[in-house]
Amino acid sequence: MSKRIVIAGAGHAAGQVVASLQQHKFDGQIALVGDEPYLPYQRPPLSKKFLAGEMPAERLYVKPASFYEDAGVELHLDTTIEALDRETRSLSVSNGDPVSYDALVLALGSRVRRLPVSGTDLEGVHYLRSITDVEAIRADFDKGRRLVVIGAGYIGLEVAAVARQGGLDVTVIEMEDRVMSRVVSPEISDYYQIEHANQGVKLQLSTGVEGINGKKRVKSVTTSDGEEIPADVVVIGVGIEPNTALARDAGLDVDNGIVVDDHCRTSDPHIYAIGDCTMHPNGIYGRSLRLESVHNALEQAKTAVANICGIDTAYNQVPWFWSDQYDLKLQIAGLSEGYDDVVIRGNPAERSFSCLYLREGQLIAVDAINAPRDFVQSKQLIADGTILDADRLADSDVTLKELAS
């Protein structure tokens, strides 16, 4: 077993690495190096309950400070890793001596994609990735203010939902012709577009942004149609980019993410990579994936630790995600691209239904809205490659498990 494990990045996946090392009774040294001033924390509530002021910051943390103390973890917070030297097996950092390792776990996550227009540095214009970002957004979220959200992905729409419930006037601008186009099917996009419109959100689809205007503070947003939308606050959510520069500069394989095998090993046997920053093989879909999901971050952390501890373990999971908007909990399992049939179970009007995606009769993905049982059962059926009778699927009185057997 390695004597000294260094975790680069102190986000959600990193927190799980420490927890898993403890579970495996790892008795070597552990060091955690991260550029944020916080212990590892969960990001999903940042655009949901934490933004709404319904969850205190303490509840965001993966583990309390005492956990790291008891585990004897050497903490280097507020510390940027500037370079990785694979010859000497050490990291150069922004403050302090180089940090050396026997095994290194890269858990560097991702960063927000910047919008290439003028005015993004004006007061009142925000991106959303960290606790610090949300504290700044919350301070700007006064009732009656005019918010423009740029990007109708799940983070942009969650922000829109929280803001509407807080009494802000909300406009969402989206370049694509439907919302959440990267993660859900047109059927689900339609449902959410209607929901947001009913809640009073003004949605402008197929619309780009030309610029953000104001002197010191934001005043308006100019769209690609030339329209000027008044704005007191702007939140930009136009995707993320994986943090790969450190790995690439150190000569590791990088291809839209740090390339790892199904054991979370990079092209250097002493270095593992996990979470948002990885491009990893998925046996269920027969191709490599880069995922932005908590489940992937946690499961890859567990896989890397098992292998570091000498237990041969492969990662092969059905991807899953969730999004909370208003009283709608959307749970997505699997990847729907390439489906040739879609079946709706339940009643959209009753705010509880699921959309099942099939390819040649095989269940490949589900989008479940307030339908946790369909979500849980689908996950297993997708993993098993189950063939289902599409004609019987719509009958929500019969569970998916029963249909499969």
Which range of residues in 40-48, 161-169, 183-191, 209-217 is near ligand FAD by CB under 6 A? 40-48
Q: Is 2 exposed, middle or buried (0-12, 13-18, 19+ CB in 10 A)?
A: middle
Determine, following the binding rule CB under 6 A, whether residue 151 of this chain makes contact with ligand FAD.
Answer: no
Count of C-beta atoms within a 10 Å radius of residue 140: 19
Rg (CA), the chain: 22
- CA separation for the pair 213, 300 (Å, rounded): 42
Amino acid at 208: G
Q: How far is the CB of 323 from ligand FAD (least distance, A)?
A: 5
Q: Judged by CB under 6 A, which of 129, 178, 196, 345 binds ligand FAD?
A: 129
Q: How far is the CB of 8 from ligand FAD (least distance, A)?
A: 6
Q: Which residues pair with 209 in a beta bridge?
A: 223
Strands (E), 59-162: 74-76, 81-85, 90-93, 99-100, 103-106, 110-112, 125-127, 146-150
Determine, following the binding rule CB under 6 A, whether residue 153 of this chain makes contact with ligand FAD.
Answer: no
Determine, following the binding rule CB under 6 A, whether residue 152 of this chain makes contact with ligand FAD.
Answer: no
Structure tokens at 107: 């858990």
Contacts with ligand FAD by CB under 6 A: the residue count is: 35
Q: Which is nearer to ligand FAD, 128 or 388 (CB)?
A: 128
3-class SS of residue 404: helix
Determine, following the binding rule CB under 6 A, whether residue 61 of this chain makes contact with ligand FAD.
Answer: no
Is 204 within 8 Å of 221 (Cβ atoms)? no
Determine, following the binding rule CB under 6 A, whether residue 235 of this chain makes contact with ligand FAD.
Answer: no
- Which of 158, 170, 181, 176 minimizes the C-alpha distance to 237? 158
Q: How far is the CB of 182 from ligand FAD (least distance, A)?
A: 13
Determine, following the binding rule CB under 6 A, whether residue 156 of this chain makes contact with ligand FAD.
Answer: no
Which range of residues in 4-12, 165-173, 226-234, 303-311 is near ligand FAD by CB under 6 A? 4-12
Q: How far is the CB of 64 from ligand FAD (least distance, A)?
A: 18
Determine, following the binding rule CB under 6 A, whether residue 221 of this chain makes contact with ligand FAD.
Answer: no
**Helix (H) or strand (E) segment spanning residue 30:** strand 29-33
Q: Judged by CB under 6 A, which of 152, 271, 294, 365 binds ligand FAD?
A: 294
- CA separation for the pair 361, 348 (Å, rounded): 23
- Tell which positions 94-123 bind ligand FAD, by CB under 6 A: 107-110
Q: Which is nearer to ligand FAD, 33 or 305 (CB)?
A: 33
Determine, following the binding rule CB under 6 A, whether residue 365 of this chain makes contact with ligand FAD.
Answer: no
Q: Judged by CB under 6 A, which of 7, 12, 172, 257 binds ligand FAD?
A: 12
Q: How far is the CB of 93 from ligand FAD (least distance, A)?
A: 8
In sequence order, the 6+-apart residues with CB closer than 8 A to the CB of 2 are 28, 102, 103, 308
- CA separation for the pair 304, 324 (Å, rounded): 30
Q: Judged by CB under 6 A, which of 193, 243, 317, 354 binds ligand FAD?
A: 243
Q: Which is nearer to ligand FAD, 34 or 346 (CB)?
A: 34
Q: Which is nearer to ligand FAD, 301 or 343 (CB)?
A: 301
310 sits in the region (left: phi over 0; alpha: psi -120 to 50; else beta) called left
- Which of 237, 171, 222 minimizes the C-alpha distance to 200? 171
Strands (E), 133-232: 146-150, 169-173, 202-204, 209-214, 218-223, 228-230
Q: How far is the CB of 394 from ligand FAD (least distance, A)?
A: 28
Q: How far is the CB of 43 from ligand FAD (least distance, A)?
A: 3
Q: Which residue has the tokens 């197929």?
A: 206
Which residue number is nearest to ligand FAD in terms of Cβ? 11
Q: Which residue has the tokens 């975790």?
A: 7
Q: How far is the CB of 123 from ligand FAD (least distance, A)?
A: 21
Q: Which is nearer to ligand FAD, 290 or 359 (CB)?
A: 290
Determine, following the binding rule CB under 6 A, whether residue 43 of this chain makes contact with ligand FAD.
Answer: yes
Determine, following the binding rule CB under 6 A, whether residue 332 of this chain makes contact with ligand FAD.
Answer: no
Q: Which residues bind ligand FAD (CB under 6 A)?
A: 9-14, 33-36, 43-44, 46-47, 80-81, 107-110, 128-129, 155, 243, 246, 275-276, 292-295, 297, 321-323
